[in-house]
Chains A and B, each alone.
Chain A
Amino acid sequence: MKKILIELIISVALILAVWLGLSKVDWMKLFNIEQVTQNTEEKIGDLFWKMLKSSETEISSDSIVSPVDSMLTRICTANTIDRKKVKLHLLRKDEINAFALPNNHLVIYSGLIAACENEAELYGVIGHELAHMEKNHVMNKLIKEIGLSVLISMTTGNGNAEMIKEAIKHLSSTAYDRSLETEADLTAVDYLEKAGINPEPFANFLYRLADQTKHLPSQIYWISTHPESKERAEEIIKHIKNKDVPKAEAKDSLRFERLKERVK
């Protein structure tokens, strides 16, 4: 019996040792997984944005883009995120929506800016989408739901326009997993804290839009694509409860009011 037990332990130990040894090999590099994904992300992101741009109206007015751009820069700088890699796009559309496309394209609809009651709420949304980018949720979602091979075929010109439109629609109008949404929320809260912005209005934004969804469901995409908003807002509140978060509202609300006027 003792001999069998020793043999059994040796066998299990051997399997674990082989696993441990093999895990020292950089398989991701060996199989070029990261490089292929990176190249595909760059191509697919630019392709998606080109397609989206052709069907929507992009806001190019400096008086609108500049304030949002400076908000994005503030979060990036405070969190040592390379601002240059994030491509900000504002689109004139009534839908309350914002989403991230592959290769760090951040798309915000004018409807969402207009729906924000204060600057801190918009900071929260930007932080949330930025978190999706930084945590690589965008490509992971596409690879899981569409498949890497289909994405690669799109970048090589084999994907038809309908397929690309469907993929964009998928990214802009369907939710991530609940765990990913929560991760993005809490990361956004951390971003806001580091940037000296009160994260509470972001939770309020989720609460408020969750209520409004009952009356105007088709317009509020950002909430309908981010389900269980009230529960998520509660998690944010719980997360910041015992933390010394910045309490002051974001400065220059007058500038934000002017921005809201311009996007209407």
Chain B
Amino acid sequence: MIATSNFHYQPDEHELEKASNSYVMSLIAIMGGLPLPIINLIATSIFYIGNLKGTYFVRWHCIQALLSQLFLLPFNSVGFWWTISIIFTPENITNNYIAYIVTIFVFNLTEFIGTIYTAVATRKGKHIEWWVIGGLTHLICKDR
């Protein structure tokens, strides 16, 4: 799911810190945004916009952090609105609902652990590419 590779240039210390911060930002957003999945995305987007003029390495990792949030957003949103409908409408708790919540919990937890690992590794100068997200990031983020 996570592959370590060499970036095509050696980023300096300042870049490593900024790139690592993009993941830290998304971690904080996960904690703050648990009840409202969209908050994660907004927070990471703001951080990305703030680093639009950053170096390629920084932008690349900001986009990877942003896309990792975007990937789980639809799943989390379904879980959120399903829960809301159970609380406020005649909808009942079912096995399917509990299974769904457990599923998105497991995948969010995986993403959470992956994010911590990536933040630490990026700070140490390693270039981490996520399954699916890494490839998508390469498509979006180009070296100027």
Contact = CB atoms under 8 A, between A and B. Distances in A.
Interface string B96-107: 101110110011
Contacts, number: 56
A27 B95 contact: yes
B90 A23 contact: no
B92 A140 contact: yes
B89 interface: yes
A179 to B, nearest CB: 6
Interface stretch (A3-11, A38-46, A110-118, A242-250): A3-11
A4 B136 contact: yes
A7 B135 contact: yes
A252 interface: no
A131 to B, nearest CB: 13
Given A4-B132, A4-B139, A177-B89, A28 B95 contact: yes
Chain A, interface SS category: helix
Interface residues of A, number: 25
A26 B98 CA distance: 9
Q: Identify the 6 closest CB pairs spanning chains A and B, nearest first.
A: A22-B99, A23-B99, A27-B98, A4-B135, A7-B132, A19-B103
Interface of B: 71, 75, 87-90, 92-96, 98-100, 102-103, 106-107, 131-132, 135-136, 139
Given A7-B132, A22-B102, A26-B95, 8 more contacts: A8-B136, A11-B131, A18-B103, A22-B103, A28-B94, A31-B98, A140-B92, A144-B88
